[in-house]
């Protein structure tokens, strides 16, 4: 057969979805031997056919292809042929630098004036997907797309938007091009099919995400209904009715709006109802993405979340999910402050078994969500697995992920896996990895837990003063209005106290090392004023209780997270978040009594009750010796004078070292953190030596007890094995502490 017939045959088979591996191999082998006899169009059809069916050619074919392109591209290859070659390489996922350089240089020499719209957009799409970021070429492609934007059909507009949205992260010029595309296409959205409308919404969201710095920790302060493109998309959806969109299309639109930071409650309410009605149609990734989008937009719709969770349960989706899907599902529930023990436990079981496969960000997302909703059923095995992974491959974890893992581990399991936590602290270069203030404050929680619960002198270790100082500054910067009113009322009642202060140490107890809302040292009492965001919603109980109370159908519980929590909390008991429970755990460990006060409780009643407690305490103290009335009067006068001391101090306490430099070799210079030559205390040297022995002992016991314990038939799954290892870790760290 002639080369032309062979190339036409292969192209026709690919378009008809006929794949015969023997036929394709024979044709490609023939082409490799005599590629110079194929026309430029024939070569392009061969490459396109290979890409269409996904069969990668051998290296010898690629060498022949590069040779022919180099010698013939300027004379024989027209725009369509070049487009077919590049598009085929994209479909194959082959980024051959030699080939791409030849094509790029040719396109920059000749320009795109002779290109039709389809080849032009296909080349742009191929370069974007292959991540071949040639700044001059993309600028030229972008100008050509903008010039003919009004003539492009919707499908090509969507392809262009996806291409330049992806290139925004690498090329500054793409931001201007993408802005021009969105501005030019906005009046034409009524020409778009539902599929095209949803896809360009997704592309617009991706562009915003890559072009703007988004604070992923506090979405509530930013998300409003203000994006003009998003408003036009919502108008189109309303005009066409929600029922006309498939669930996949609705998912793309919702996800795009989330990335555009556009929060429209009316639209979200209608979208939530559509997801509830058609929950059975959603795939696992669509369920996860929908929950994530609503969580990031801080729109909690209880019926919607319940419907999504029920689908996950009914189909038992968690074991089938990818690591990213599991992490996103857990993170979404954490954002909504919704506790579903069954789902969280299932995720924990899977992550314990897959910890080595998970990325640092994925582990951080799972642990953060577990800590927020205070899911502690499998907390110790999960924390042990995650901390061991950080200690084993710490260079693969960024500083943000490590700090979140430390914060979550302290909240969930305290000192259960202290051996791994200390090993991470002592890793070379730990304090020189570019930690920001937030990271230092989060790491401090692990320091506080090890100090209060394990009894380690953490103040002698590297990094303590930096973490403590930044924790005090961050937590002391704000004081709630309810806290201020309560402090003022207590001052009026002449009850000595500290407001928003670091908790002092009681006699015979270690220092808790945390900040509390109201501290009454005389009564050994801490008052914590908690707002709605310090609570989590038990989903099943909330849905059941609201269904009984409402009595009528149609009422929906939705809104911002704190609004929904406040409404649910009026009917059922909502538990505390992990961070709130962690603070109480440390305070009680250090001898304090802790009282939780709701943000909407009357501070006058609280102050009156405390006044009575204080009077009773004084009578008990003063009635011991009735003959010493004069001494008692002097004592009362002295106590009265103490009320004028910093009873309602709102400024943060300073650390033990008041200067700008801290122990452990770290100092602050302006806004930067500079690491000095590391100087270790004698205590830290001793701890490091003991820890090395403890880790060796732990590893020895694992091998000695069961041989290869993870593969032993004694353990039916990874969770059981990890529970067994946690027991060993506790024994080893206890022996290490006892040896001091």
272-324 confidence digits (pLDDT tens): 999 999 999 999 999 999 999 999 999 999 999 999 999 999 999 999 999 99
Which is more confident, 658 or 552? 552
Q: Which run of H or of E encompasses 558?
A: strand 558-559
Q: Name the band, by pLDDT with cuts 50, 70 and 90, for residue 217.
A: very low
Q: Are 583 and 516 in contact (CB under 8 A)?
A: yes
Length of the chain in residues, anyone? 740
CA separation, residue 693 to residues 203, 264, 414, 423, 690 (Å)? 54, 58, 22, 11, 5
Q: Is the pLDDT of residue 544 over 60?
A: yes
Q: Which two tokens stand for residue 719?
A: 């969770």
Q: Which two tokens stand for residue 419?
A: 């051996």
Average pLDDT over residues 395-417: 93
Q: What's the CA gap between 56 and 62, in Å, rounded?
A: 10
Phi, psi (rounded to 5 degrees) for 594:
-120, 130
What is the structure's pLDDT at 658? 29
What is the structure's pLDDT at 706? 63
Q: What's the CA gap between 669 and 672, in Å, rounded?
A: 5
Q: Is the pLDDT of residue 615 over 80?
A: no
Q: What's the CA gap between 617 and 611, in Å, rounded?
A: 10
Q: What's the CA gap between 733 and 413, in Å, rounded?
A: 14
Q: Which long-range contacts (CB under 8 A, 24 or more apart) does 142-148 make?
A: 142/173, 142/174, 142/176, 142/177, 142/180, 143/177, 144/112, 144/115, 144/120, 145/120, 145/121, 145/177, 145/181, 146/177, 146/180, 146/181, 146/184, 148/117
Q: What's the CA gap between 71 and 631, in Å, rounded?
A: 108
The mean pLDDT of the chain is 85
Q: Tell me the HSE value of 505 on the side-chain side, using a 13 A CA sphere.
A: 9
Q: What's the CA gap between 157 and 182, in Å, rounded?
A: 10
Q: Read off the DSSP letter of residue 262.
A: B
pLDDT tens-place string over residues 447-473: 999 999 999 999 999 899 999 999 999
Average pLDDT over residues 615-640: 48
Q: Which two tokens stand for residue 676?
A: 């000095």
Q: Name the band, by pLDDT with cuts 50, 70 and 90, for residue 433.
A: confident
Token look-up 């997907």 returns 129
Planar angle of CA 388, 392, 393, nearest 5 degrees: 120
Q: Which run of H or of E encompasses 525?
A: strand 525-530
What is the structure's pLDDT at 712? 58
Average pLDDT over residues 11-39: 89
Q: Which run of H or of E encompasses 473?
A: helix 464-476
The share of the chain scoring above pLDDT 70, in percent, equals 85
Q: Read off the DSSP letter of residue 94.
A: -
Average pLDDT over residues 567-583: 91
Q: Name the band, by pLDDT with cuts 50, 70 and 90, for residue 133.
A: very high
Q: What's the CA gap between 339 and 662, in Å, rounded?
A: 40
Average pLDDT over residues 524-529: 89
Q: Please enumerate in sequence order all residues whose Cβ is within 8 A of that of 111, keeping only pairs 6 or more positions apart, or say none.
A: 140
Q: Is the pLDDT of residue 246 over 60?
A: yes
Q: Is the pLDDT of residue 218 over 50?
A: no
Q: Name the band, by pLDDT with cuts 50, 70 and 90, for residue 339.
A: very high
What is the structure's pLDDT at 494? 81
Q: What domains can be seen in the chain, in order of their start residue?
A: 478-620 (3.40.960.10)
Q: What's the CA gap between 524 and 510, in Å, rounded?
A: 14
Q: Are 507 and 575 in contact (CB under 8 A)?
A: no
CA dihedral 358, 363, 365, 370 (to 10 degrees): 130
What is the structure's pLDDT at 632? 38
Q: Name the band, by pLDDT with cuts 50, 70 and 90, for residue 617.
A: low
Phi, psi (rounded to 5 degrees) for 690:
-65, -35
How many CB atoms are closer than 10 A to CB 356? 10
- Say which range, 50-54, 307-311, 556-560, 661-665, has the weakest mean pLDDT: 661-665
Strand partners of residue 515:
502
Read off the pTM.
Answer: 0.85
Q: Which two tokens stand for residue 572?
A: 């059922």
The share of the chain scoring above pLDDT 90, in percent, equals 64
Q: Is the pLDDT of residue 605 over 90?
A: no
Most confident of 38-42, 566-570, 670-674, 677-681: 38-42
Q: Please enumerate in sequence order all residues whose Cβ is within 8 A of that of 212, keeping only pairs 6 or more positions apart, or say none.
A: none
DSSP letter string over 649-697? --SPPP-SS-SSEETTTEEEETTEEEE------HHHHHHHHHHHHHHHH
Most confident of 476-480, 524-528, 543-547, 630-634: 524-528
pLDDT tens-place string over residues 95-115: 999 999 999 999 999 999 999
Indicate the SS3 state at residue 429: coil
Q: Name the band, by pLDDT with cuts 50, 70 and 90, for residue 477.
A: confident
Q: Read off the DSSP letter of residue 308.
A: H
Indicate the SS3 state at residue 379: helix
pLDDT tens-place string over residues 720-737: 889 999 999 999 999 998
What is the structure's pLDDT at 713? 66
Q: Is the pLDDT of residue 636 over 60?
A: no
Q: Is the pLDDT of residue 68 over 50?
A: yes
């Amino acid at each position: 057969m002639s080369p032309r017939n062979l190339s036409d045959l292969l192209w026709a088979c690919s378009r008809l979805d006929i794949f015969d591996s023997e036929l394709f191999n024979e044709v490609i082998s023939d082409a490799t031997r005599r590629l110079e006899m194929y026309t430029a169009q024939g070569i392009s059809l061969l490459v396109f056919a290979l890409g269409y069916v996904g069969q990668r050619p051998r290296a010898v074919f690629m060498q022949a292809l590069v040779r022919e392109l180099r010698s013939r591209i300027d004379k024989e290859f027209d725009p369509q042929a070049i487009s077919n070659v590049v598009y085929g390489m994209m479909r194959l996922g082959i980024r051959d630098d030699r080939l791409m350089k030849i094509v790029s240089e040719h396109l920059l020499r000749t320009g795109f004036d002779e290109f039709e719209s389809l080849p032009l957009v296909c080349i742009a799409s191929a370069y974007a997907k292959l991540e071949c970021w040639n700044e001059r070429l993309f600028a030229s492609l972008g100008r050509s797309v903008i010039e003919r934007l009004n003539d492009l059909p919707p499908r090509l507009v969507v392809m262009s938007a996806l291409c330049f949205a992806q290139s925004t992260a690498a090329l500054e010029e793409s931001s201007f091009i993408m802005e021009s595309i969105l501005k030019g296409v906005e009046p034409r959205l009524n020409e778009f099919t539902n599929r095209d409308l949803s896809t360009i919404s997704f592309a617009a969201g991706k562009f915003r995400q890559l072009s703007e710095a988004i604070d992923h920790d506090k979405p509530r302060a930013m998300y409003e209904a203000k994006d003009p493109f998003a408003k036009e998309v919502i108008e189109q959806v309303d005009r066409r009715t929600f029922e006309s969109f498939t669930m996949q299309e609705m998912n793309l639109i919702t996800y795009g709006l989330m990335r555009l930071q556009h929060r429209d409650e009316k639209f979200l309410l209608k979208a939530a109802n559509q997801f509830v009605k058609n929950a059975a149609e959603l795939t696992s990734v669509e369920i996860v993405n929908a929950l994530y989008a609503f969580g990031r937009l801080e729109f909690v719709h209880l019926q919607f979340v319940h419907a999504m969770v029920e689908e996950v349960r009914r189909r038992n989706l968690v074991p089938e999910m990818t690591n990213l899907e599991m992490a996103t599902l857990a993170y979404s529930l954490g954002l909504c402050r919704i506790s579903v023990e069954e789902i969280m436990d299932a995720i924990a079981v899977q992550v314990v078994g897959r910890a080595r496969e998970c990325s640092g960000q994925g582990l951080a997302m799972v642990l953060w969500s577990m800590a927020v909703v205070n899911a502690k059923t499998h907390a110790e095995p999960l924390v042990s697995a995650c901390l061991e992974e950080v200690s084993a491959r710490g260079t693969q974890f960024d500083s943000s992920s490590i700090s979140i893992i430390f914060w979550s581990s302290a909240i969930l399991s305290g000192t259960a896996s202290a051996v791994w936590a200390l090993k991470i602290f002592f890793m070379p270069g730990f304090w020189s990895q570019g930690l920001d203030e937030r990271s230092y404050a989060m790491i401090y929680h692990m320091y506080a837990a090890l100090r209060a619960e394990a009894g380690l002198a953490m103040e002698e270790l590297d990094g303590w003063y930096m973490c403590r100082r930044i924790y005090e500054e961050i937590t002391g910067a704000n004081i709630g209005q309810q806290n201020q009113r309560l402090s003022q009322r207590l001052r009026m009642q002449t009850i000595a106290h500290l407001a928003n202060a670091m908790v002092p140490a009681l006699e015979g107890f270690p220092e808790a090392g945390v900040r509390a809302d109201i501290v009454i040292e005389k009564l050994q009492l801490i008052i914590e004023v908690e707002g709605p965001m310090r609570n989590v919603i038990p989903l099943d109980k909330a849905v059941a209780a609201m269904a009984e109370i409402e009595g009528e159908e149609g009422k929906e519980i939705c809104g911002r997270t704190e609004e929904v929590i406040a409404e649910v909390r009026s009917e059922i008991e909502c538990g505390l978040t992990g961070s709130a429970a962690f603070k109480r755990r440390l305070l009680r460990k250090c001898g304090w009594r802790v009282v939780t006060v709701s943000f909407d409780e009357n501070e006058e009643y609280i102050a009156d009750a405390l006044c009575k407690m204080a009077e009773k305490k004084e009578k008990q103290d003063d009635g011991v010796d009735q003959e010493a009335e004069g001494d008692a009067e002097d004592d009362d006068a002295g106590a009265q004078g103490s009320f004028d001391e910093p009873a309602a101090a709102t400024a943060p306490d300073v650390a033990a070292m008041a200067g700008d430099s801290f122990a452990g070799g770290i100092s602050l210079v302006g806004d930067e953190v500079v690491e000095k030559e590391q100087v270790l205390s004698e205590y830290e040297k001793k701890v490091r030596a003991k820890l090395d022995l403890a880790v060796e002992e732990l590893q020895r016991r694992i091998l000695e007890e069961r041989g290869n314990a993870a593969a032993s038939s004694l353990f039916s799954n990874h969770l059981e094995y990890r529970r067994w290892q946690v027991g060993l870790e506790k024994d080893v760290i206890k022996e290490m502490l006892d040896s001091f």
